[in-house]
Amino acid sequence: QQTVYTFGGAAPHDDPRQRDKTITGGKGANLAEMASIGLPVPPGFTITTEESVRYLREGADFSDALRSDVANALKHIEAAVGKNFGDAADPLLVSVRSGARVSMPGMMDTVLNLGLNDATVEGLANTSGDERFAWDSYRRFIQMYSDVVLGLDHGLFEEALEIVKEDNGFYADTELSADDWRALVTEFKALVEQEQGKPFPQDVTEQLWGAIAAVFDSWDSDRAKVYRRLNDIPADWGTAVNVQAMVFGNMGDTSATGVAFTRDPATGNRAYYGEYLINAQGEDVVAGIRTPQYLTKDARETAGAKPLSMEEAMPDAYGELARVFDLLEAHYKDMQDIEFTVERGKLWMLQTRSGKRTAKAALKMAVEMVGEGLIDEQEAVRRVDPMALDQLLHPTLDPDAPRDVMTTGLPASPGAAAGKIVLDADTAEQWSQRGDKVILVRVETSPEDIHGMHAAQGILTARGGMTSHAAVVARGMGRPCVSGASAVSIDRDTRTLRIGDKELKEGDEITLDGAKGQVMLGIVPTVEPELVGDFGILMDWADKLRRMRVRTNAETPDDCRMARQFGAEGIGLCRTEHMFFDAGRISAVRQMILAEDEAGRRKALEVLLPEQRADFTAIFEVMAGLPCTIRLLDPPLHEFLPHSDSEFADLADATGLGVDHLKRRAGELHEFNPMLGHRGCRLGITFPEIYEMQARAIFEAVCAVQKESGEAPLPEIMIPLVATRRELEILRALVERVAEEVFEEQGARVDYLVGTMIELPRAALMAGEIAHEGAFFSFGTNDLTQTTLGVSRDDSARFLAPYVDKGIFPRDPFVSLDIDGVGQLVEMAADRGRATRPDIKLGICGEHGGDPASISFCEEVGLDYVSASPYRVPIARLAAAQAAL
């Protein structure tokens, strides 16, 4: 295998391996590509990623093949430039640049001006006729090499430079003369010798190999490791090394260096966008040593800035750059992020890649590029990252507004929320009913806080991770949430809280930035999301291309309406228990649960029936004409029980039963493993009257909506936690009996289906049998993940992060489906279900229904639909389209 590929000059660029980013890295592959289409690229060569992997594996040793290939490739550069490396009279200088498969901004190291030493610096001064430039380059080289290769503290060099500036009353580096730089070089060399006990290397070959090793080693630096973990980049990719002839932006006022985007990466506007600096090199633009200048006259005038734009200061080089922008876009058919240098009026291209962009810009560019004929609709759909849409679906903080950040927690649910602090769910509900905007602040949340979370603009918790109750529910509801903000401490007695050193009380105003995890004092103004224009156009294209339907998980008319606006085509999961927590009826629910016998339960259920019917009627009115999967009661009953003494006292009043009696009954319901306890269809089997009431409420509501509007939804009644065919058989019969009763009473008839959730491994195994009883399966992948992995979602925060870090799971299996494991059960159950009942409807309703990777898997196994929380519906639509392409 070739270890090195040359580019630029007379190099051939036709080996496919050279254009393959996995072999030559992103930078190397694109440098070769630019050279091959005739763009001005300084000649150079790329050492493959394979060599870096081998080097690291073999304990920091270069192979013989690499040594000789590099020597040959260096000759290619020398021939192309007409200078020799290490030649004291007219030296070739090179840069040594890292370049992984994907860009890892600032994660790896670059050395510029390599090849300078005490002799070649004089040659450079002679041939360039610019002594100042030569000595400036040499001091830059010593600084960078000492930092990157020798591992010396770069602060030492900066300090020395600062002292020279102070002594002379200089403000900018550009004020230093050739002699100043020469003196500084002497000082720098002394510093190096003092720090490492030997002189700065004068042998240019030693310099080169030192820099190559440093780039290889930088792959395993702490910085790079952290970056890889945060961005899901495998440790075994390695990095390529690019060695390239230097071009100089620091040769006076006809030279410059800059970075640019072919379109505005923030807005997507079709305008060149970028910054440049005259008489500067490489890092100067981003390092903030001098304030960079605008690229275009327009941008400069809009900003009201004085220093001339590149368009004005160097019109010829700028014209050439604009031509290259257009060539690059036409070639890559995408917005490019480029780095360039102008040496004495001549433009050189040093890098290009697809530019990172905001979601808004991604949409605008994708849609406009279709209009320009650059790409087709499929490509446009493919190009937008579904997850990035999240940024657009929530109100966001005005980016220009000032922020007083008190503390930062986990960015659990994106979006911005501002309002008054409330410390419990009931207060949240009461205050919001009287028209206040509130932020619910809790140590952590539990299912009984749902109504308060719904009433709140946003949620802040002191404890809990990205998959804590607060985080999951908040994302589902589209409420911004900051979780695990450990600097928050709550005092429930005085109804105050401390955040760091600030003392706040209930009613004080705060703002959350759910995307950043920030908690701010006071109200920071927000801007509303816009779902029209480019967003709508791209979604239409996506809808044309997808096969799977997209439904929503929703249990309130508001959520349903919102989901329909976002394009939901039905309900995939309506969790009826959320309706039971409502303030008006929790008392009846508790009476039902604590009743001693069936008669007592039926009495309480009679109170609940009209309430449930009203719930369903309101939902069905919004969802008329669409399928609605309604899950009958699922959680263990004790979740609804009173906790505090005052709640027990209230219940005693309502029932006429003593507090002690109630507490004893509550104690009897205690379970050791509620998740595996008396819940799901087990409730329906043991207390059939509960499911009867729910079925009746559903059918009465459908009939009512049918009568009223002439159009009914299609109810799909879902029995949870089924493990056996017989459970479903019994409960299906129950639902059918109630349906017939209601149809008889109403003198009407509607279509409906009875089916089940597949959320236990046994159900997946027995799917062929179970399908005899159910018309549909909905994969409840939250529970299926818990039960297959034997991992409790509520307790996993403690160990799942380290599991992901160690590569035991590629991602949190509660966020992205464990396709290898749990996925097998899904696939098997789908196959077995279809074998029994070819027209069985198949869908997914876990959190995974809104995760693009999981959605792609659902497409593969041929599910009919996915279901996601309202705010994730557009993400799911786009992901479903991408999965179908």
Catalytic residues: 469, 845
Choices 437-445, 689-697, 775-783, 869-877 (CB under 5 A): range interacting with Mg ion = 775-783
Cβ proximity to ligand ADP, 244 vs 556, nearer residue: 244
Token pair belonging to 14:
């036709």
Residue nearest to Mg ion (CB): 783
Report residue 612 CA to chain centroid gap. 38
Cβ proximity to Mg ion, 465 vs 680, nearer residue: 680
Q: What is the dihedral of CA 120, 125, 129, 132, to 10 degrees?
A: 150
- One-letter amino acid at 9 equals G
**Which residue's entry shows tokens 């790409």?**
375
Residue 827 CB, nearest approach to ligand ADP (Å) = 42
User: How many of the other CB atoms lie within 10 Å of CB of 161?
Assistant: 20
The binder of Mg ion chosen from 36, 52, 351, 407 (CB under 5 A): 351
Q: For residues 534 and 74, what is the distance between their CA atoms, to the nearest angstrom?
A: 49
Cβ proximity to Mg ion, 205 vs 724, nearer residue: 724
Whether residue 114 contacts residue 204, with contact meaning beta carbons closer than 8 Å, is answered with yes
Strands, sheet with 509-513, edge to edge from the N-terminal-most edge strand:
405-408, 518-521, 509-513, 416-422, 438-442, 458-461, 481-483, 410-413
Q: For residues 463 and 559, what is the distance between their CA atoms, to the nearest angstrom?
A: 27
Non-local CB neighbours of 824 within 8 Å, separated by 6+ positions: none
Q: For residues 484 and 462, what is the distance between their CA atoms, to the nearest angstrom?
A: 5
- In order, the DSSP letters of 591-615 are HHHH-SSHHHHHHHHHHHHHHHHHH
The interface partner of residue 759, options being Mg ion, ligand ADP, none and the CB cut-off 5 to 8 Å by kind, is Mg ion
Residue 319 CB, nearest approach to ligand ADP (Å) = 21
The binder of Mg ion chosen from 86, 627, 684, 780 (CB under 5 A): 780
Q: Which residues of 436-452 are buried (b: 16+ CB within 10 A; e: fewer)?
A: bbbbbbbeebeebbbbb
Task: Give 421's strand partners.
Answer: 439
Cβ proximity to ligand ADP, 136 vs 700, nearer residue: 136
Whether residue 640 contacts residue 593, with contact meaning beta carbons closer than 8 Å, is answered with yes
Q: For residues 775 and 233, what is the distance between their CA atoms, to the nearest angstrom?
A: 42
Residue 95 CB, nearest approach to ligand ADP (Å) = 3
Q: For residues 63 and 429, what is the distance between their CA atoms, to the nearest angstrom?
A: 69
Residue 469 CB, nearest approach to ligand ADP (Å) = 41
Choices 335-343, 549-557, 592-600, 766-774 (CB under 5 A): range interacting with Mg ion = 335-343
Is 851 a binding residue for Mg ion by CB under 5 A? The answer is no
Cβ proximity to ligand ADP, 350 vs 819, nearer residue: 350
Residues that bind ligand ADP in the complex, under the rule CB under 6 A: 42, 95, 97, 106, 110, 112, 244-247, 257, 282-283, 339, 341, 350-351
Is 783 a binding residue for Mg ion by CB under 5 A? The answer is yes
Residue 23 CB, nearest approach to ligand ADP (Å) = 18
Size of the site for Mg ion (CB under 5 A): 5
Q: For residues 43 and 246, what is the distance between their CA atoms, to the nearest angstrom?
A: 9
Report the run of H or E that residue 753 belongs to, with start and end. strand 753-758
Cβ proximity to Mg ion, 428 vs 722, nearer residue: 722
Strands, sheet with 239-245, edge to edge from the N-terminal-most edge strand:
4-7, 44-47, 239-245, 94-100, 110-114
The interface partner of residue 878, options being ligand ADP, Mg ion, none and the CB cut-off 5 to 8 Å by kind, is none
Residue 782 CB, nearest approach to Mg ion (Å) = 6
The interface partner of residue 783, options being Mg ion, ligand ADP, none and the CB cut-off 5 to 8 Å by kind, is Mg ion
Residue 22 CB, nearest approach to ligand ADP (Å) = 18
The binder of Mg ion chosen from 534, 700, 759, 773 (CB under 5 A): 759
Q: Pick out residues in 852-881 that bind Mg ion (CB under 5 A).
A: none
Cβ proximity to ligand ADP, 110 vs 511, nearer residue: 110
Cβ proximity to ligand ADP, 257 vs 468, nearer residue: 257
The interface partner of residue 512, options being ligand ADP, Mg ion, none and the CB cut-off 5 to 8 Å by kind, is none
Non-local CB neighbours of 561 within 8 Å, separated by 6+ positions: 622
Beta pairing, strands 84-85 & 91-92: parallel
Report the run of H or E that residue 361 belongs to, with start and end. helix 359-371
Residue 351 CB, nearest approach to ligand ADP (Å) = 5
Q: For residues 294 and 260, what is the distance between their CA atoms, to the nearest angstrom?
A: 10
The interface partner of residue 769, options being Mg ion, ligand ADP, none and the CB cut-off 5 to 8 Å by kind, is none
Cβ proximity to ligand ADP, 247 vs 840, nearer residue: 247
Convert residues 718-757 into a mask of x (bound to Mg ion by CB under 5 A) and - (unbound).
----------------------------------------
User: How many of the other CB atoms lie within 10 Å of CB of 222?
Assistant: 7
Cβ proximity to Mg ion, 29 vs 702, nearer residue: 29
Choices 246-254, 339-347, 416-424, 563-571 (CB under 5 A): range interacting with Mg ion = 339-347
Residue 67 CB, nearest approach to ligand ADP (Å) = 22
Residue 99 CB, nearest approach to Mg ion (Å) = 9
Is 44 a binding residue for Mg ion by CB under 5 A? The answer is no
Residue 98 CB, nearest approach to ligand ADP (Å) = 6
* C-alpha dist (Å) from residue 549 to 68, 310, 545, 631: 58, 51, 11, 19
* C-alpha dist (Å) from residue 282 to 287, 367, 401, 510: 9, 34, 33, 43
Whether residue 258 contacts residue 285, with contact meaning beta carbons closer than 8 Å, is answered with yes
Convert residues 607-646 into a mask of x (bound to Mg ion by CB under 5 A) and - (unbound).
----------------------------------------
Cβ proximity to ligand ADP, 70 vs 456, nearer residue: 70
Whether residue 459 contacts residue 442, with contact meaning beta carbons closer than 8 Å, is answered with yes
Task: Give 339's strand partners.
Answer: 259, 351
Whether residue 777 contacts residue 758, with contact meaning beta carbons closer than 8 Å, is answered with yes
Residue 144 CB, nearest approach to ligand ADP (Å) = 10
Residue 359 CB, nearest approach to ligand ADP (Å) = 24
The interface partner of residue 780, options being Mg ion, ligand ADP, none and the CB cut-off 5 to 8 Å by kind, is Mg ion
User: How many of the other CB atoms lie within 10 Å of CB of 199?
Assistant: 10
Cβ proximity to ligand ADP, 46 vs 432, nearer residue: 46
The interface partner of residue 787, options being Mg ion, ligand ADP, none and the CB cut-off 5 to 8 Å by kind, is none
Whether residue 732 contacts residue 738, with contact meaning beta carbons closer than 8 Å, is answered with no
Cβ proximity to ligand ADP, 258 vs 833, nearer residue: 258
Non-local CB neighbours of 275 within 8 Å, separated by 6+ positions: 258, 259, 260, 285, 292, 293, 294, 295
Non-local CB neighbours of 373 within 8 Å, separated by 6+ positions: none
Residues near Mg ion (CB under 5 A) are 339, 351, 759, 780, 783
